[in-house]
Chains A and B, each alone.
Chain A
């Protein structure tokens, strides 16, 4: 019995080493989700606590805004960048102590918001003004990307990965703004890139952050495709974009992308009826057909959604 147990432990140890798992990954196996921990009565308590936290932050923000003109440059930097850095350090400390794992995500969020703001304040207060705001934003997003990515590589905490992806695309956007790359194809490619990255993350243990990026990136693909193709002779390809989205939704087993597919197809159908049927006698008939198609699309989406949830 003891030998079998020892063999199992040795096997577990080797698996941990092969897959570079850390303490948190193992703990996550035994941890229920935070929503499951809260029964309905406790959910209200959680909601009130969150609301209270928001009020405290709002109050602090308003107070800082009121005294902003009366404090010196150093105080402004300490309030913003200093608080952000402290939150970042505390989040790193939380990763090494299992007792504070619940405080980890709030600290990461606070650091992810306050640090970029603080860096802008620091540049505004201490560096010469060149008038090139976009370049300043490039430096801030680049710094945050490097910091969050290094933190993720060191700790393997999902929250840092979330902000790494966020600042990566923010940095790309700033580069595009800086170099004035404004071709209509750019947002489409960015959206596709984001979907690929989200799908890649979905295959790892950090998949909890992917619904947010699936939603944002598929929305970007849908809207950017519309910008690219509307009022051109290729606008019929918008239907193809919707089909690609539904294909991605099925492959990624994501109901979020499916929702974006339904919304985008509705939008495209409204565009097509407005563009091609508005000023003809059959306009009311077109509206009826549009309504029927929308109902059909919704029913189809619900069917696919059920299939996705049954396979998940």
Chain B
């Protein structure tokens, strides 16, 4: 039986098979047509504490970031101190428009002092956790269940790494090492960068 005669004989069956693909194509096309890439860069870090302690990166009241070494506190059980090596922090700056990811490592020098943040120290962070254009940072990412069936048909998803999310648009940030512990610092106010 040739393909054309099979299709003629089984129109409903063929239409039923094609229907989900048509739906996916239509919805993806609609999504692409309304897609707006993130206008603000996202700043986040991944920390690797060790037996000496951990480097903490914080956002100051003036919107700038700073890093400080926090020695091990025997009563503090919130940080995993069992790791070996030098404590370090990798700062990441993700540009959603170009998809580029810049990073710098902050660690302890020979005098047990925190190394400089380099160009990251000039960045000014916006106070809101949601960017002015509506994106938010999540790591790890769990999508929400919308209704009874939507959870099964496209509503539930898990991604271990960091993502930028706005409505149904999810942009995965690829290239982050040890992504499970990514901590968001904020959205960069581009106008304030010197």
Name A residues whose Cβ lies closer than 8 Å to a Cβ of B: 20, 129-134, 168, 172-173, 175-187, 189-190, 192-201, 203, 220, 223-224, 226-227
Contacts and interface: CB of A to CB of B under 8 A. Distances in A.
B27 A183 contact: yes
A131 B19 CA distance: 31
Given A131-B140, A187-B150, A226-B148, A193 B24 contact: no
B135 to A, nearest CB: 14
Interface of B: 1, 10, 12-17, 19-20, 23-24, 27-28, 31, 140, 143, 146-150, 152-161, 168-170, 172, 179-180
Contacts of B169: 180
A182 B23 CA distance: 12
A8 to B, nearest CB: 24
A180 B143 contact: yes
A193 B160 contact: no
A197 B149 contact: no
A181 B154 contact: yes
Q: Among A130, A134, A176, which residue has the most Cβ atoms of chain B within 10 A?
A: A176
A181 B27 contact: yes
A183 B180 CA distance: 29
B17 A197 contact: yes
Nearest to A226: B148
Nearest to B16: A196
B154 A131 contact: no
A176 B16 contact: no
A153 to B, nearest CB: 12
11 contacts: A131-B180, A176-B153, A180-B169, A182-B168, A190-B20, A192-B19, A197-B17, A199-B12, A199-B13, A224-B148, A226-B148
Nearest to B28: A179
B160 A130 contact: yes
Contacts of A168: 17
B139 to A, nearest CB: 10
B1 A20 contact: yes
A20 B5 CA distance: 14
A200 B157 CA distance: 32
A180 B19 contact: no
Contacts of B159: 131-134
Contact of A194 (B16, B143, B161): B16
B51 to A, nearest CB: 26
A173 B154 contact: yes
A35 B161 CA distance: 52
A177 B161 contact: no
A180 B168 contact: yes
A196 B157 contact: no
A306 B19 CA distance: 33
A226 B15 CA distance: 24
B157 A178 contact: yes
B71 to A, nearest CB: 32
